[in-house]
Amino acid sequence: MRIGQGYDVHRLTEGRKLILGGVEIPFEKGLLGHSDADVLTHAVMDALLGALALGDIGGHFPDTDPKYKGADSISLLRHVGTLIKAEGYAVGNIDCTVAAQAPKLKPYIVKMRENLSAALEIDCSQVSVKATTEEGLGITGNGDGMTATAVCLLISRN
């Protein structure tokens, strides 16, 4: 068994779509980044890559490479899923938390779980997504950005 931990943060800005866990969420701001800036999916990928000791998403999908400009993070997660299988592992479970003062994320969490689990070809019951507001504190609490953390358990298939 292997465990991994991932963390990501992105600034909120006008003129961008807000995408979390592959779900486009209606909001006046979106997350700034080279790809679609899906902070949740990025944290999940970093947790999975970390569990395999394969580095981080910056090494696999560098923001200096034009082919990742505006990239769909769920597609990138599918690629990470192929790496997990190639290394002889399967996902046991993933647990995530998104920190955002607004918008309220509860209506979108089931779809986020479905998107993440489908990309990894695992059961939705293996993916947990939670949300918190951080009570008005820090960059997430004051509405400047969003963060996400993720932990995962990988199980050897051998």
Please choose, from the candidates 9, 154, 24, the residue with its C-alpha nearest in 3D space to the C-alpha of residue 84. Answer: 154
Q: How far apart are CA 86 and CA 31, in angstroms?
A: 32
Q: Is 135 annotated as a binding residue?
A: yes
The answer to the question of whether 36 is labelled as a binding residue is no
Distance (Å, rounded) from C-alpha 80 to C-alpha 132? 26
On whether 134 is known to bind a ligand per the annotation, the reply is yes
Query: Was 129 annotated as part of a binding site?
Result: no
Residue 64 is labelled as binding a ligand: yes
Nearest to 16 by CA among 39, 37, 44: 37
On whether 60 is known to bind a ligand per the annotation, the reply is: no
Q: Is 141 annotated as a binding residue?
A: no
140: annotated binding-site residue?
no
Was 56 annotated as part of a binding site?
A: yes
| 82 annotated among ligand-binding-site residues | no
Q: Is 95 annotated as a binding residue?
A: no
Q: Position 22: which residue type?
A: G
| Among 91, 143, 155, 137, residue whose Cα is nearest residue 118 | 91
Q: Is 79 known as a binding-site position?
A: no
Q: Is 133 annotated as a binding residue?
A: yes
Binding-site sequence positions: 8-10, 34-35, 42, 56-58, 61-65, 132-135
Binding-site sequence positions for a divalent metal cation: 8, 10, 42
